Amino acid sequence: MSELFTSAEQMQKATNYNQWTFEQFEEYIRGDVLEVGCGVGSFTKIITEKSEFDSLYCIDISLPAIDHIRKKKFRREIKTECIDLINVTGSYDFILCMNVMEHVEDDAAFFAKLLDLMKPGGVLFHLVPSHKFLYSNFDTAAGHFKRYTKEMMNDLAIPSNVKLIKQYYFNPIGALGYWLVYKALKSGNINDTEGEIGMFDKYIVPFSKKFLPLSNPVGISLISVYEKIK
């Protein structure tokens, strides 16, 4: 079993963090939904339990992840497939893509495909690791080609017929902890994190939600929300 798969299973237990993340895109869910990089189904489960939609198509290039998600029971019927994004067809009212593009060397082609799959008036919620200065041994071990800035994301969107609805750095305390562990202490182990995830989820997430604004100059992730022009 891959390290990334194990890491995804650990993050599935971070219920506060997953709920906090879900709240960032909850308002956009509608119609035909495509979840790119569904992993072990952490957000698939939340979406089916808390959102209204017509269809939900969940894809991942990891067969173990797809096999795992197919064994789960969801409140709504979903379609799952082990498939590369480039081979996906159709058009969607809402596309969710989180922590995927950093694994793709040709990010321009990947992002263009995402935009091509949007219906007119459709919304793309996109989340990637942020800030070049945070790139570390962890990123290398996790197969990340890069971490992103707002400028990098917006350059990818320039040639397309989409408008930026919202963009912000997310989870600033997470960025500080990441810098300390993976930059200052230079750890590169992506699996030795279960205790840290539990502590972060129990204490830091509730504090961050209550006291920290969403608009921050730094964050462990960059969130961008795009709407396709009708």
Listed residue (225, 89, 227, 93) closest to 160, CA to CA: 227
Position 228 confidence tier, pLDDT thresholds 50, 70, 90: very high
- What sign does the CA torsion over 155, 111, 68, 75 have? positive
Q: What is the pTM of this model?
A: 0.90
Q: What is the pLDDT of residue 181?
A: 80
Flag whether pLDDT at 4 surpasses 60.
no
38 within 8 A of 96, measured Cβ to Cβ: no
Q: What is the pLDDT of residue 188?
A: 55
Pairing of strands 118-129, 32-36: unpaired
Q: What is the pLDDT of residue 133?
A: 93
Q: What is the pLDDT of residue 190?
A: 55
218 class by beta-carbon count within 10 Å (0-12 exposed, 13-18 middle, 19+ buried): middle
User: How confident is the model over 87-130, as pLDDT tens digits?
Assistant: 999 999 999 999 999 999 999 999 999 999 999 999 999 999 99
188 within 8 A of 182, measured Cβ to Cβ: yes
CA pair distance 115, 91, nearest whole angstrom: 10
Flag whether pLDDT at 193 surpasses 70.
no
229 within 8 A of 161, measured Cβ to Cβ: yes
CA pair distance 46, 67, nearest whole angstrom: 19
CA pair distance 74, 89, nearest whole angstrom: 24
Between residues 4 and 98, the one the model is more confident about: 98
How many CB atoms are located within 10 Å of the residue 109 CB? 11
Cross-strand bridge partners of residue 57: 34, 79
Token pair in block for residue 143: 């197969």
Flag whether pLDDT at 46 surpasses 90.
yes
To the question of domain 3-228 being in CATH 3.40.50.150, the answer is yes
User: How confident is the model over 196-210, as pLDDT tens digits?
Assistant: 777 778 778 888 887
Please report which helix (H) or strand (E) contains residue 96, including its range: strand 92-98
Q: What average pLDDT does the segment 78-82 reach?
A: 98
167 class by beta-carbon count within 10 Å (0-12 exposed, 13-18 middle, 19+ buried): middle
Q: What is the pLDDT of residue 192?
A: 54
Position 12 confidence tier, pLDDT thresholds 50, 70, 90: confident
Flag whether pLDDT at 2 surpasses 60.
no
Q: Tokens 């008036």 — which residue?
A: 121
CA pair distance 73, 158, nearest whole angstrom: 40
Position 19 confidence tier, pLDDT thresholds 50, 70, 90: very high
User: How confident is the model over 31-42, as pLDDT tens digits?
Assistant: 999 999 999 999
Listed residue (207, 206, 205, 199) closest to 181, CA to CA: 199
Rounded to the nearest integer, the mean pLDDT of the chain is 90
Among residues of the chain, what percentage have pLDDT more than 70? 90
Listed residue (221, 215, 219, 186) closest to 98, CA to CA: 221
Position 6 confidence tier, pLDDT thresholds 50, 70, 90: low
